[in-house]
A and B are shown apart, each in its own frame.
Chain A
Amino acid sequence: MRLKKNIAISDSGFLFDPSTGESFTVNETAQEILKLLKEGKDYDEIAGHITSLYDIDRAGFERYYQDFLEMLNHYHLIDHAG
């Protein structure tokens, strides 16, 4: 699972998809996850990083992570070919 390569994410939480021209805003948690996804980290690494930073356990995080991935998919931000 990878983000589309050409997606731009700003430090202030804006995301731009040049292939559709659509813009998005993300919150801090989403920004952290997107950064790690861009770096090619896997779920274990992402979960480890988030649970070390925030007051959430792995089981709790997984549930919201899956939901977030669904939304990325919904907005066509996932590179299925890759």
Chain B
Amino acid sequence: MEKRTFEPPVIKRLNAGMPSKFGMTPRIEPMPEVEGLKVSELLKEFGSPLYVLSERTLRNTYRDAYQAFSTRYPKVQLAWSYKTNYLAAVCNAFHQEGAWAEVVSGFEYHKALKNGVPPQYIIFNGPSKTYEDLLLATRNGSLIHIDHFDELYMLLEVSDEAGTKPKVAIRVNMDTGIYPRWDRFGFNYDNGEAWEAINRIMLSGKMDLAGLHTHIGTYILTPQAYRIAASKLADLAVNTERKYGHVIRYIDMGGGFASKNTLKGAYVPGTDSAPSFDDYADAITGALVNSAIKPEHLPLLILETGRALIDDAGYLLGTVIANKRLASGRRALITDVGVNLLFTSFWYEHQIVPAENSSQHTEDTTIYGPLCMNIDVLRAAIDFPLLKKGDTFVIKRIGAYNMTQWLQFIEYRPNVLMIDTDGKPHIIRKREDLDYMTRQEVLPEHLKNAGL
């Protein structure tokens, strides 16, 4: 007789009559395969934990986003936000789809060049650019987005040395009716600072004011905020043309579109609350089309959305190391995926599902990572099936920021796999090892051995 699959025994108290603002707990569906490949086989071949990226999802999401905007507005350009995920394979998949590069540091700028992006298709954002960065970007004809007056004046010097006009935009912050109001990046619209920056650029005669840029925030759940932002940038463009006869060639609405992940403390899951690309596109393109910009001078619309383009394409596969019973009676699961690999677990309630079938029985569980640190909590409280040591699981929607903000801490970072559109797996970043970890260290002669 074939033996039945063992599930750890569990007893769960029923809280009849307890009101729940969250409604019924949904049945947790297991995820035995990613892109047609078995999770257990992938972990066996490439080790656990394992990042997996779906090239198909990545490309399809890009096309959805582009279509939402291009069906509403004549000139649309997406620029891949490098900081969201700058693994070369990811960047080049987006570049092949037509995305330019949006970078925020000298390192990212050089990475975009190394990836083969023509320099005129690199947007250089961010508050920290060195004189050398600006000189190179100016000579290359890249688009430089000015963040503050110190940078503006440094660019005037750069312009003299380069003997050519830098192509620039100013970064504009503003009140769009949402909280928190980001006023850290760029020049403020509402107090007139942005208009002053435009005047200084135009009167200097040393820069080519190609565009206007804003980045109103992150995980914006209100498309209306983008409508307000686009209207304010359009006003600046109209005023610039009226005063100087100079046409603003592009308006860059930055990023900040929400993904379908659920923020901590949210009442409804992100899958229900995140606006679609169509919602954002409707707000932004509506504002530009209805603005006072002359139809023949409608600017190119640039978007730098990162999170919403790649979150869904990423999975993190892991294995249960141990079960524990906390003093409170709550079950604890120790896994090999920690906050070092899942930085976004600090602000998301990530969806975690078992890889294999389990019964409908669940237990209130805290899921920990492997780090010897109290903060290493993936989910503080989740109704979770009764996984045993060695069982595997999948964390969904982890494509954004985790492969850039990951921490080199205590453990090696694992393999990153991309499954191509034919279902073939490729390692796109190799697991770290001791050699990699110590390569940059330099030991003074007197400390060359432990001396014990």
Interface residues in chain A, defined as those with a beta carbon under 8 Å from any beta carbon in chain B: 15, 22-30, 32-33, 50, 52-56, 60-61, 64-65, 67-68, 70-72, 74-75, 77
Q: How far does the Cβ of B69 sit from chain A's closest Cβ, in whole Å?
A: 49
Q: How far does the Cβ of B184 sit from chain A's closest Cβ, in whole Å?
A: 49
Stretch from B5-13, B262-270, B289-297 that touches the partner: B5-13
Mark out the residues of chain B between 27 and 84 whose CB falls within 8 Å of any chain A CB in the assembled complex. Answer: none
Q: Assess the A68–B16 pair: CB atoms within 8 A.
A: no
Q: How far is the CA of A38 from the CA of B15 in the complex (A)?
A: 25
Q: Assess the A22–B13 pair: CB atoms within 8 A.
A: yes
Q: A67-B8, A68-B8, A72-B11 are in contact. Are A23 and B386 (CB under 8 A)?
A: no
A interface SS class: helix
Q: How far is the CA of A53 from the CA of B167 in the complex (A)?
A: 74
Chain A: CB-nearest residue to B14: A23
Q: How far does the Cβ of B387 sit from chain A's closest Cβ, in whole Å?
A: 12
Q: How far does the Cβ of B15 sit from chain A's closest Cβ, in whole Å?
A: 9
Q: How far is the CA of A56 from the CA of B389 in the complex (A)?
A: 12
Q: Assess the A64–B9 pair: CB atoms within 8 A.
A: yes
Contact with B325, one of A22, A28, A61, A70 (Cβ below 8 angstroms): A70
Q: How far does the Cβ of B24 sit from chain A's closest Cβ, in whole Å?
A: 15
Q: How far is the CA of A5 from the CA of B359 in the complex (A)?
A: 29
Q: How far does the Cβ of A49 sit from chain B's closest Cβ, in whole Å?
A: 12
Contact with B13, one of A24, A52, A54, A68 (Cβ below 8 angstroms): A24
Q: How far is the CA of A33 from the CA of B272 in the complex (A)?
A: 41
Residue among A22, A52, A67, A70 with most chain B CB within 10 A: A67
Q: A15-B11, A70-B325, A71-B325 are in contact. Are A27 and B386 (CB under 8 A)?
A: yes
Q: How far is the CA of A22 from the CA of B9 in the complex (A)?
A: 19
Q: Assess the A24–B9 pair: CB atoms within 8 A.
A: no
Q: How far does the Cβ of A14 sit from chain B's closest Cβ, in whole Å?
A: 8
Q: A15-B11, A64-B8, A67-B325 are in contact. Are A53 and B3 (CB under 8 A)?
A: yes
Q: How far does the Cβ of B234 sit from chain A's closest Cβ, in whole Å?
A: 59
Q: How far is the CA of A74 from the CA of B323 in the complex (A)?
A: 17
Q: Assess the B6–A54 pair: CB atoms within 8 A.
A: yes
B165 at the interface (CB under 8 A from A): no
Contact with A30, one of B9, B325, B329 (Cβ below 8 angstroms): B9
Q: How far is the CA of A78 from the CA of B11 in the complex (A)?
A: 13
Chain A: CB-nearest residue to B8: A64
